[in-house]
Amino acid sequence: MEEQVELVGRAFVEHYYHLFDTDRSSLASLYHQSSMLTFEGQKLQGGDNICSKINQLPFDKCHHLISTIDSQPSSFAGGIVVFVSGSLRLAEEDHPLRFSQMFHLIPTPQGSFYVQNDIFRLNYG
């Protein structure tokens, strides 16, 4: 079970950041209307609001470099909590930005997962 949780967490992270870096608008399929995002302290709810925020970020091109991925089963049956740390490289910046992000993944009846909770923070200092 633990190995499966790790595999799902890693596969999700690879998929999520690939979409973010290459086609941000396609992230909409990963969120539902009940989904919540806290982005640098700003709280948003609903897939439409979350995707609007992500698509309006003030940069066009970026590349995520993942350092760590930690996954645990959640108390929601079949749910998975994923914690990610890494660097975000923007085309117009000389130095990468360190970040941390947490996802709470909930299984769907179709056998995939959606993001119920998403918390993102840049790490300064």
To which H or E segment does residue 123 belong?
none
Please state the domain count of the chain: 1
pLDDT bracket for residue 60 (50, 70, 90) = confident
| pLDDT value for 109 | 93
Write out pLDDT tens, residues 17-40: 999 999 999 999 999 999 999 999
For 63-81, write each residue's pLDDT tens digit: 999 999 999 999 989 999 9
* Three-state DSSP state, 24: helix
Interatomic CA distance for residues 23 and 28, integer angstroms? 10
% of residues, the chain, pLDDT over 70:
99
User: Which pTM value belongs to this model?
Assistant: 0.94
Q: Are 101 and 123 in contact (CB under 8 A)?
A: no
pLDDT per position as a tens digit, 76-100? 899 999 999 999 999 888 899 999 9
Q: What CATH number should be reported for the domain holding residue 15?
A: 3.10.450.50
Which residue range forms the structural domain that includes residue 27? Answer: 2-122
Distance CA 3, CA 72 (A): 10
Determine how many CB atoms are found less than 10 A away from the CB of residue 35. 22
**Confidence band for 124, pLDDT divided at 50, 70 and 90:** confident
State the DSSP H helix or E strand holding residue 1, giving kind and residue range, or none if neither.
none
